[in-house]
Amino acid sequence: MAGASLGAPPLSAARVPPPFQGSFGTKGALLAEEEAEKEERAKESKKGKKKKKKKSGGGEADNEAPGPSATADLQPPTPPPAPSPPPADAAAIAAADEALQQAVAAGSYEGLASALEAYSSLASPAVLAAARRARDKLKEARRRDSQRLRKAHGAAMGALKSLDTADSPSALRAGIAAARPHVGALPALAEEVSAAESKLGELSVAAAPAAAEAAVARPVEIALSDLTAATDGFAEGKLIGSGGFSHVYEASADLHLSLAAPPQLRHLPLVVKRAKSGQSGGLSRAELEVKLLKAVSHPHLLPLLGYCLSPDGVCLLSPLMRGGSLEARLRISDPDRAAQLRRLGMVEPPRPLTWRQRVRIACEATEALVYLHSKGIVHRDVKPDNILLDEELTAVLADTGFAKDQRPDASVRCRSTALYMTTGYLCPSITKGGEYSSKTDGYAIGITLLVCLTSRSEVQLTDRCEEEFDGLWTNIDASKIAEAAAGWPDLAARAVKDLAKAGDGQKSLCHDSLRNRCTLPEALTTLRGLLCGAQGGAGVEEAAPAPGDEAAAAAARTTGYEPSPLSVQVRGMRMGGDAQARIQDNMMLAFKTLMPRLDAAYASRSAAAPDSFEERINFWHRECGLPTELRSQLHSLRIWANAARHHDAARWRRDGPRSEGEASRLVAAVTETIGAIEG
């Protein structure tokens, strides 16, 4: 019997007290009889007490304290002591320890709590203590998770409210940014964010060009020797790509520029475009491009940061666009294009662009063209290879080497440069002796849209589709030629196809007749309407021009370009108009330019510097001797740049500078002090 009890279940199960184990003979019977006699005496004592109380009628005798003997009679019999558990054997302890350790490893609070309840009496003290500590940690983690989820749900509800109440593009943009992190906490929020993004696309037809200020780098002349050093002697390993007239090289991170070079160019990711040797007209094209880029500035134009016009090597210096070209992103299965993307740092092939991304990229390139046309400039070489993307797929129009003034005294006939254009994007009117114009640039955008739609070659694209489907272009179902990987909806595919080239009775970008071609501003409105679900721009409300929008009116008078009603409406929504947009753009650019200069100045401590801008500035002050006043100024500039980056009008009014003068003075002071640190 004793051996059987050692293998019994946990201590919660009934056990026989040790004095009785193996002793149910005479001794057990006597003890049982003695207990019965005690119970009988106790019953008789209680009966006698009740009779005495009844006879006295509740007098003083009832209030007298009972004597020692009476107290003893009234006390209930003392129960026998609780039985002690038998010692568990080693196998039971090991099994309990293993069960608790498995529960700890599983990481479930409920499972571990149940295991502790079942095995706490059998497990070894060390394992039991460890399991209890693990349970307490899991309980605390569950409490924190619960608080976090409640907080996330509250934030999601707040973000949803901000989307519902947004009354301007900046407020809508801020609401989207605030809502994205909380989509997981509130599934319904995902649909609201998608709808808000579409609405934002509708309200952002024309972005005001960013004006260049003194705080932001202007194109500067750089010695060929510096650019040679920056590219390791224009080494093959630095080559990113090649075009008909130039090679493009990635510059080293520190550029190896001489001290005479502008500090803001010393530590930026850059590329050097060098004209191929032996090319006639290379110097003149570079001079033209430098001249044009010095005169223009737009968020979707690739900026020129530096140049070298030496006869020994004509070079242009620009930011590195790590997203590659639109052409490369549309041809990711092409080995040459894939290799080009790998040279930009993409180890794995990127996913195919979605239809929305393709349309948005085309919109941004079109915005840049509309801006150039408003300045009287025709690009003349629009194609996906010249639309570059950053890591977030923001597009910039590049390679303005063939751009020309459109004004009467600067017009250029086709015979001078038509042979250098990319055939598939060249308007047929040029080959017939016509002149370049905004509509020939529009033709190139139309072909670009068809390439985005189909991912086919641009050469005779419509003719080849007619041969393949044995029918006229206008009768071909757009869904049959749309690239499946992009996920084109039928309506979107049809709208892009018709915008690029439609029937004779409808205006389009690639119409055979110049007179029946739509303008780029019209195309831009259509594309934006497409992104927000309003095909052809339907549903876009017209608004009167914003008061004081004289720049747009002047552009319309001098170039014939009139901003679309929606773009005028958007500009009117911005508090402060173009002046505020200019300040915000320059605060972001100034902060982005000045921080790398301090990184370079304190390069010896860069490994220990925190990633956060706020913490890094404080680190420089604490560890590197950054002047106290400069630290305060940098924090002000950081706060202004953050407020500008969030596109939140209320936040900008609260945290931004009081005036453009205050912003310019602070940037100038910071620039001067950093220059002194650099020596």
List the domains of the chain with CATH numbers: 89-201 (no CATH), 218-255+265-320 (3.30.200.20), 322-406+413-518 (1.10.510.10), 580-678 (no CATH)
The closest alpha carbon to 395, from 314, 330, 484, 491, belongs to: 330
- pLDDT 10s digits, 78-122: 666 655 555 657 888 888 889 989 989 988 888 888 888 888 888
| pLDDT reading at 358 higher than 80 | yes
Least reliable range by pLDDT among 264-273, 332-341, 404-413: 404-413
Q: What is the mean pLDDT of the chain?
A: 74
Which position has the higher pLDDT, 267 or 501? Answer: 501
Count other C-beta atoms under 10 Å from residue 74's C-beta: 12
pLDDT of residue 47: 62
With a CB cutoff of 8 Å and minimum separation 6, the contacts of 103 are: 111, 112, 114, 115, 116, 131
Token couple for 112:
């571990």
First to last CA, the chain: 94
Identify the band that residue 648 occupies on the pLDDT scale cut at 50, 70 and 90.
low
The closest alpha carbon to 156, from 108, 193, 198, belongs to: 193
Torsion angle (degrees, nearest 10) of CA 36, 38, 40, 41: 170
pLDDT of residue 422: 65
pLDDT of residue 65: 46
Question: Is 273 labelled as part of a ligand binding site?
Answer: yes
Burial (CB count within 10 angstroms: exposed 0-12, middle 13-18, buried 19+), residue 157: middle
The helix-helix angle for 169-179 and 188-202 (nearest 10°) equals 150
| pLDDT reading at 646 higher than 90 | no
The closest alpha carbon to 441, from 426, 458, 424, belongs to: 426
pTM of the model: 0.51
pLDDT of residue 324: 92
- pLDDT 10s digits, 269-325: 788 999 887 766 667 778 888 888 888 888 899 888 888 988 888 899 888 898 999
| pLDDT reading at 205 higher than 60 | no
pLDDT of residue 113: 86
pLDDT of residue 397: 94
Identify the band that residue 130 occupies on the pLDDT scale cut at 50, 70 and 90.
very high
pLDDT of residue 492: 92
Q: Where are the beta strands (DSSP E) in 283-407?
A: 306-310, 313-319, 324-325, 377-378, 387-389, 395-397, 404-405
Distance of alpha carbon 513 from alpha carbon 507, whole angstroms:
9
pLDDT of residue 38: 65
Distances, alpha carbon 428 to alpha carbons 210, 365, 424, 443, 610, in Å: 34, 22, 10, 9, 57
Inter-residue contact 321 to 389 (CB < 8 Å)? yes
Least reliable range by pLDDT among 19-28, 391-400, 526-535, 611-620: 19-28
- pLDDT 10s digits, 509-542: 999 888 889 999 999 988 888 876 544 333 323 2
Identify the band that residue 58 occupies on the pLDDT scale cut at 50, 70 and 90.
very low
Token couple for 142:
């569950």
pLDDT of residue 489: 92
Count other C-beta atoms under 10 Å from residue 540's C-beta: 20
The most distant pair of C-alpha atoms in the chain lies apart, rounded to whole Å, by 139
The closest alpha carbon to 444, from 421, 475, 416, 477, belongs to: 421
The closest alpha carbon to 328, from 345, 310, 340, 315, belongs to: 340
Q: What share of the chain is helix, strand, coil (3-state, %, to 5)?
A: 60, 5, 35
